Amino acid sequence: MVQQQDKFDLISNKIIDTYYQESSPEEKEILVFGTKIILVTVIGYSLILLFGSLLGVGYLALIAAVTAGVIKIFSGGVHASSLIQCVTSGTIMFNLFGLAAKYSTFYLKGKIIILLFGTLLIGSVIIDIYAPAIVKEKPINSKSKASRYKIYSFISFFIVHLIYFSCYKLGVANQFVVAGLLGVIWQLFSLTPLSYRLYNRDYITVEQAIEGR
């Protein structure tokens, strides 16, 4: 039986072979990887929205997922060992965040500003220590690249916080702010060695990645 991850590869290869026949093998490899990521992203977000809608928290779950994804682009972080596990765990986790945002907002009404600043402070420390967090599938091979990714991680993190702080001050529904912050917290956790142990993945420092260990 073909594994689920291999099916994504087969579909991506078929798409690229059909529409980019004149491309070199190296170009095709890059295109296949990009196509596979797009497929997984579209399927993942669609499932999050579908199950979230059934639970009545579709937009909240999607907000949490998109927020985490924006920061993850540069900060990296652990993910499941296969794409199907990644999609499945993401669907479950972000819908749980949607439910948590929906039903905890009443109790957090006067504490959201504390959550905003607490996440900002603790998150800055975590990004400074752990970003970019590496997995074997996406190594970083130079200190200059690692430094750029850390800077971009801070920028995306601060922009996200500015957006949610502005939403809070403008009186946007608190459950949307809480959903976004839960996405931020999950992404910050994914940078730590503890999250790698949770997913049974090897934690690799930037220095180890550069040295090729």
> What number of other Cβ atoms are within 10 A of residue 8's Cβ?
21
Over 70: is that where the pLDDT of 206 sits? yes
Query: What is the value of pTM for the model shown?
Result: 0.85
Alpha carbon 166 to chain centroid, angstroms: 22
Query: Where does the pLDDT of residue 207 fall: very low under 50, low under 70, confident under 90, or very high at 90 and above?
Result: confident
- Write the CA distances from 90 to 62, 116, 142, integer angstroms: 11, 23, 30
CA distance 160 to 77: 17
The confidence score (pLDDT) of residue 6 equals 56
The confidence score (pLDDT) of residue 172 equals 86
The confidence score (pLDDT) of residue 66 equals 95
Tokens read off for 13:
């290869």
φ/ψ of residue 134, rounded to 5: -110, 145
The confidence score (pLDDT) of residue 5 equals 47
b/e map of 58-75 (b: 16 or more CB within 10 Å)? bebbbbbbbbbbbbbebb
pLDDT tens for 144-197 read 888 999 999 999 999 999 999 999 999 888 999 999 999 999 999 999 999 999
pLDDT tens for 98-147 read 999 999 988 887 789 999 999 999 999 999 999 998 877 666 778 888 89
Percent of the chain at pLDDT > 70 equals: 89
SS3 content of the chain, % helix, strand, coil (to 5): 80, 5, 20
CA distance 99 to 68: 16
pLDDT tens for 56-94 read 999 999 999 999 999 998 998 887 777 778 888 999 999
Domain range for 146 is: 4-211
The confidence score (pLDDT) of residue 137 equals 63
CA distance 52 to 54: 5
180 versus 209: which is more confidently predicted?
Answer: 180
Phi-psi map region of 196: left, alpha, beta (phi>0 left; psi -120 to 50 alpha): alpha
- State mean pLDDT over 31-46: 81
Of 34-38, 130-134, 207-211, where does mean pLDDT reach its minimum?
A: 207-211
| Number of separate domains in the chain | 1
Query: Where does the pLDDT of residue 1 fall: very low under 50, low under 70, confident under 90, or very high at 90 and above?
Result: very low
CA distance 168 to 181: 11
